Structures are given as structure tokens and as C-alpha cells.
């Protein structure tokens, strides 16, 4: 399976201003292309979530931590953790992967 962001970017924003687009899903895994602009207003999610930065840079706020990010970085937010992107460049584009059960996966 190969996903090309160019195949999905042209439909962002969606008809209701959506800043992400579903690209692929299998079982509990959903892969979306995410392109926030201006302010990232997302709220915590029910599933674990991972991001792969395609382009752009900024600050990833996750819980009480702030981390700089750049292209090719991998970022993670466990289910329920408040997180968002701040001070990001206008070209921010990310793959976002939601997976696992609601409430997140729990280590043994």
C-alpha cells in the first residue's frame, strides 16, 4: 500500500471546513491527511494517535510538554491526552494514524 498526500490534499478543506481527509482504513486503523491552518482546535481523541510530519515545522503541545517538530518527525498522543500544534508554519501537512480500542491500548 502506498499513499500519496497529493491524492488527498486537493479536497482539504472539506465542504464544512474540515482540515483532514480519510485516506485509508483497515480494522481499527484509520489514516488521515491533516492540514491545520492558523489555529489547531483539535480536542482529545478516544483512540491512540500517531503523526508523521510531511512538511512544516512548529511546536507540538502534548499534555504539559512542548516539543519542536520538523519534517519526518514521528509524534504520539495516547487516547484522551490533550494535544495540539502551535506556532506552526503555513505548509504544515501530516499523516495522522488513529488505532486501537477506544481508551487506547494498555501495556501489559
Give DSSP secondary structure letters for 27-78.
TTEEEEEE---S-------SSEEEEEEEE--EEEEETTEEEEE-TT-EEEE-
pLDDT of residue 106: 81
Domain contains 36: yes
Total domains in the fold of the chain: 1
In a domain, residue 39? The reply is yes
Tell me if 1 is assigned to some domain: no
What's the confidence (pLDDT) of residue 47? 97
Tens of pLDDT, residue by residue, the chain (108 residues):
899 999 999 999 999 999 999 999 999 999 999 999 999 999 999 999 999 999 999 999 999 999 999 999 999 999 999 999 999 999 999 999 999 999 999 875
Host domain of residue 17: 6-99
Residue 105 lies in a domain: no
Q: Are strands 83-86 and 58-62 parallel, antiparallel or unpaired?
A: antiparallel
The pLDDT value recorded for residue 108 is 59
pLDDT at res. 55? 98
Task: Read off the CATH number of the domain in which 14 is found.
Answer: 2.60.120.10
Tell me whether residue 106 is in a domain.
no
Query: Residue 107: inside a domain, yes or no?
Result: no
Amino acid at each position: 500500500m502506498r499513499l500519496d498526500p497529493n491524492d488527498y490534499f486537493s479536497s482539504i478543506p472539506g465542504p464544512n471546513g474540515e482540515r483532514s481527509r480519510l485516506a485509508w482504513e483497515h480494522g481499527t486503523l484509520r489514516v488521515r491527511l491533516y492540514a491545520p491552518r492558523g489555529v489547531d482546535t483539535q480536542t482529545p481523541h478516544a483512540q491512540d494517535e500517531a503523526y508523521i510530519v510531511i512538511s512544516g515545522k512548529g511546536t507540538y503541545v502534548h499534555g504539559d510538554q512542548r516539543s519542536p517538530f520538523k519534517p519526518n518527525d514521528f509524534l504520539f498522543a495516547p487516547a484522551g491526552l490533550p494535544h495540539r500544534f502551535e506556532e506552526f508554519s503555513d505548509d504544515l501537512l501530516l499523516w495522522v494514524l488513529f488505532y486501537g480500542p477506544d481508551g487506547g491500548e494498555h501495556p501489559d
